[in-house]
Amino acid sequence: MPELNLTSAPAHLRHGSSIGQPLTRRDGVLKVKGEATYAADNHPPGMLFAVIAVASIAHGRVTSLDVAAAKRHPGVVDVMTPDHKPQLAIDPEIKTNPFVFRMEVLQGNEVRYANQPIAVVIAETLEAATEGAVLLAPRYETLPALVGLDAGKSYVPPVVGVGNPSENHHGDVAAGLASADKQIDATYETPAQYHNAMEPHAIVAHWNDDHLQIDMPTQGLMLSLARVAELFGIAHDKIHIRSPFLGGGFGSKGLMAGPPVLGIMAAKLVGRPVKLVLRREQMYGPVGHRAPTRQRLRIGADAEGRLTALDHHARTVSSTFDDFYEPAADASHTLYAAPAIRTSHDAVRVNTGTPLFMRAPGEATGSIALESAIDEMAWACGMDPLAFRLKNYAEVEPITGKPFSSKALRACYDQGAARFGWAKRSLRPRQMRDDAGLLVGWGMGTATFPALMFQAEARAAIRRDGTGAMEIGAHDMGQGAWTALAQIAADAVGLDIDSVNFKAGTSDLPDAGIAGGSAHTATAGAAIHSAGAAVIAKLADLATNDERSPLFGAGNTGVIARDGRLIRRDDDSRSESYSEILARAGVAEVEARGTGAPNPAAMEEYAMHAHGAVFAEVKVDPELGQIRVTRMVGAFAAGRIVNPHLVKSQLFGGMIWGMSFALHEEAITDRRSGRIMNANLGEYHIPVNADVPPLDVITVEEHDPHVNALGIKGVGEIGITGSAGAVANAVWHATGVRVRRFPIRIEELLTQR
């Protein structure tokens, strides 16, 4: 891959450090010119096209494939089936670690869900491969499909999400509910949702003898590399993955799924490079989704509107062959100061591709139910929803009793409410109209997302020409790693951002961990920060131990790095440039590594979360029931903001996902066949431009000394939480109709005129 030609000297303001500056995207020019290379844009010489054939049944087995018909089609080179495929080094059903999910890579004829890959057709042209896959005309032995939240006997999963206990409690919930003056008992349903990144999952796989070159969008280069290595039985250093840009990920490109493995197998089978891109409808199965939930919330409050108990139970589904459980009820752990809290989960198995993390997994699903229920409770208490939330403001994390590492939620409430004009809201629903006669409703929700850290490593160098280098296998799926991490890198090595050669996006670089959990900037940033500090320390060693240096004798801690110079901390006039130091020492460069990792001591002591408050206005046609969001304000406190320009975009995106959760998104499964009936972008609705109103984001100042060295909490996912509930609550406030099944449908608002 040629060096990425990232924008230098962009037209943006700039003073002092890079962190905190609203730089425009350094990959912006590449992206607006169509020059950013996504996986499917690669064409190695001799490349063939592979197209997957998928099952149209949800349960059973394939009894025949007309391979001969496919092969007769001009241009078809080969057909990969369970009977004709390269052997894998290990059984893909074996879970070698918790981040390995089972995948369907033609190991047998069993069909476990609709849209499961059952064969791969490889051809000289895309047209031939596509038709070849149709000509396979599979026949099946069909078994009854398990569909829906009541598909079978429920069970309590051992863990939900990533290793969370499926049940948690604090205090006596039964007593709290019994003593309550007001109670609500409400059940909410959320549908299956699909990530639907604009870029379909794609791979270009190319074997050169025993070396494997892969172009593939991934949120986890090293996890993917390790999985490929074990599946194909090759050493890590024989694999090179390039993922400079992802066309969106949202969790679906975090872990290795079956389709890219099939692409690698196909390339091996035919001995030529192969491109395999999922068709949009094929993304509704083998690459994960957000599981549906049914959530029951029982809440009690005393006469003053203080919570006495909060009981949140979530039913969800997993696949018949693997385990991932949407941790929806966990959303009730952190926000409201109930003296008694219980959260619990159970699940049923259905014929579906295994659910997976999808932007704010658990937090988003749980949030819309919790924020709706809190809104219902506020109304039951006759209180303004904001006043009710403030009354039950958690000064310590309710479920654990731990203090928060920082929590500027009160400021979020204040600033968001002021910007929105919340004080003018009528307490009762269905009171406001615009002058076209449309019902107007205002709703709010509290946003929260944990401040996570994973593990990462970075390599930093200072070169004799005065430039720096920072290398980390980080991922840019749109959040802006090419820019934000480079800003952190620039500060870490005390250079202007354009003087740092920032490398990311390939698997030969140090492991940046996974781009997920809203933790990538914090984790990779911490590694970069620490690598920078280490390389500067080495440079300082060279200078302060050298009698010829003006810094001689200053000691490691006695200098600071700024603008390509080391400067005595106690005397600005004594400094030396990086180039001078390295030239005199006669070395081409100094380099050092640094790591980023969670701090177990801080985690033990503190609850660490980002917070926010979202306010939404909707209009609803009183007779026709059509809904439109007309205004949203979100105020978020997420620690240090590395780049306000990009953070605003991320938060906007999250808020739009929240709106989509409340009003649009839903995969519709045929209850008999288990097939998804709207596996496309025409009928699986995500918001279009006209759905999105003017949005306003406030980032509330928050200093957090505990989360990590940089004080970053992450903003990728929090925007959905709070927003979904705010929109749903606004619909109630507009109409007086409380809809507890999402997305809210027109027919549910037709009951009243």
Partner 1 sequence: MNHSISLTVNGARRDFVLDDPRVTLLDLLRERLHLTGTKKGCDRGQCGACTILVDGKRINSCLALAISHDGADILTIEGVARGDQLHPVQAAFIAHDGFQCGFCTPGQIMSAIGMMREAQAGNDPERIRECMSGNLCRCGAYAGIVDAVLEAQAGADETNQRRSA
Partner 2 sequence: MKQFAYVRPATVTEAVAAAAQPGAVYLAAGTNLLDLMKGNISRPDRLVDVTHLDGLDRIERLADGSLRVGALVSNADLAYDAEFAKAYPAVAEALLSGASAQLRNAATVGGNLLQRTRCAYFYDTASRCNKRESGSGCDARDGENRTHAVLGWSDRCIATHPSDFCVPLVALDAIVEIEGKNGRREIALDELHRLPGNAPERESALEPGDLIVAVRLPPAARGFAAHARYLKVRERTSYAFAIVSAAAALRIENGKIADARLALGGVAAKPWRARAAEDVLKGVAPTADAFQEAAWRALTDAKPSGDNAYKIELARRIVMRALTLAAAGTPARIPALPASPFASTSGAIHA
User: Which residues of the chain form contacts with partner 1 (CB under 8 A)?
Assistant: 11, 24-25, 27-38, 40-41, 43, 49, 125-128, 131, 196-200, 245-250, 277, 279-280, 477-480, 645-646, 648-650, 652-657, 680-682, 686-690, 692, 694-695
- The rounded distance, in Å, linking the Cα atoms of 561 and 405 is 29
Size of the site for partner 2 (CB under 8 A): 47
Closest to partner 2 by CB, 400 vs 426, is: 426
Write the DSSP symbol of residue 238.
Answer: G
Phi, psi of 697 (to 5 degrees): -120, 135
Cβ distance 106 to 117 under 8 Å? yes
Binding site partner of 649, from partner 2, partner 1, none, Cβ cut-off 5-8 A by kind: partner 1
What does DSSP say about strands 239-242 and 211-215: parallel, antiparallel, or unpaired? parallel
- As beta bridge partners, residue 697 has 634
Query: Which residue, among 458, 212, 161, 475, has the nearest Cα to 331 in the 3D structure?
Result: 161
Among residue numbers 673 through 692, which ones bind partner 2 (CB under 8 A)? Answer: 673, 675, 677-678, 682-683, 685, 687-691
Q: Which of 112, 82, 67, 108 is nearest to 265 (CA)?
A: 82
CB-wise, 123 or 585, nearer to partner 1?
Answer: 123
Contact residues for 650 (Cβ-Cβ < 8 A; gap 6+) = 479, 480, 715, 716, 719
Q: Is 89 in the site for partner 2 (CB under 8 A)?
A: no
CA distance 279 to 152: 31
In the complex, what is the shortest distance from the CB of residue 105 to partner 2, in angstroms, rounded to a whole number? 22
Part in contact with partner 2 (CB under 8 A); list of ranges 14-22, 187-195, 434-442, 600-608: 434-442
Q: Between 83 and 434, name the residue whose CB sits nearer to partner 2.
A: 434
Q: Between 25 and 565, name the residue whose CB sits nearer to partner 1.
A: 25
Residue 433, contacted partner among partner 1, partner 2, none, CB below 5-8 A by kind: partner 2
For residue 244, give the DSSP letter. S
User: 87 vs 689, which CB is nearer to partner 1?
Assistant: 689
| Cβ-based nearer residue to partner 1, 362 or 653 | 653
Q: Is 739 in the site for partner 2 (CB under 8 A)?
A: no
Query: Min. distance of Cβ 135 from partner 2 in angstroms?
Result: 9
Reduced to 3 states (helix: H, G, I; strand: E, B; else coil), residue 25 is coil
The closest of 547, 601, 539, 593 to 567, measured between CA atoms, is 539
- Looking at the Cβ atoms of 9 and 688, the one nearer to partner 2 is 688
Query: Which lies closer to partner 1 via its Cβ, residue 506 or residue 599?
Result: 506
Given partner 2, partner 1, none, residue 499, with its beta carbon under 5 to 8 Å by kind, binds: none
Asked if 628 interacts with partner 2 (CB under 8 A), we say: yes
DSSP string, 454-481: --EEEEEEEETTS-EEEE-B---SSS-H
Contact pick of 123, 223, 256, 438 for partner 2 (by CB under 8 A): 438
Q: Taking a C-beta distance cutoff of 8 angstroms, is the pair 27, 245 a contact? A: yes
> According to the binding rule CB under 8 A, does residue 61 interact with partner 2?
no
> Closer CB to partner 2, residue 69 or residue 560?
69
User: Which option in partner 1, partner 2, none does residue 529 bind, with CB closer than 5 to 8 A by kind?
Assistant: none
CB 221 within 8 A of CB 475: yes
Q: Are 327 and 345 in contact (CB under 8 A)?
A: yes
C-alpha of 564 from chain center: 36
Smallest distance, partner 1 to C-beta of residue 740, A: 25
Q: Which positions from 343 to 382 touch partner 2 by CB under 8 A, shown as an x/- string? A: ----------------------------------------
Only segment of 123-131, 219-227, 457-465, 646-654 that touches partner 2 (CB under 8 A): 123-131
3-state secondary structure 679-714: CCCCCCCCCCHHHCCCEEEEECCCCCCCCCCCCECC
Q: Per DSSP, what are the bridge partners of residue 276?
A: 50, 203
What are the φ/ψ torsions at residue 264 (nearest 5 degrees)?
-70, -40
H helices within 589-722, ranges in order?
600-605, 644-663
Question: Which residue ranges make up the site for partner 2 (CB under 8 A)?
Answer: 56-57, 73-74, 127, 130-131, 134, 426, 431-436, 438, 440, 619, 621, 623-626, 628, 630, 664, 668-673, 675, 677-678, 682-683, 685, 687-691, 745-747, 750
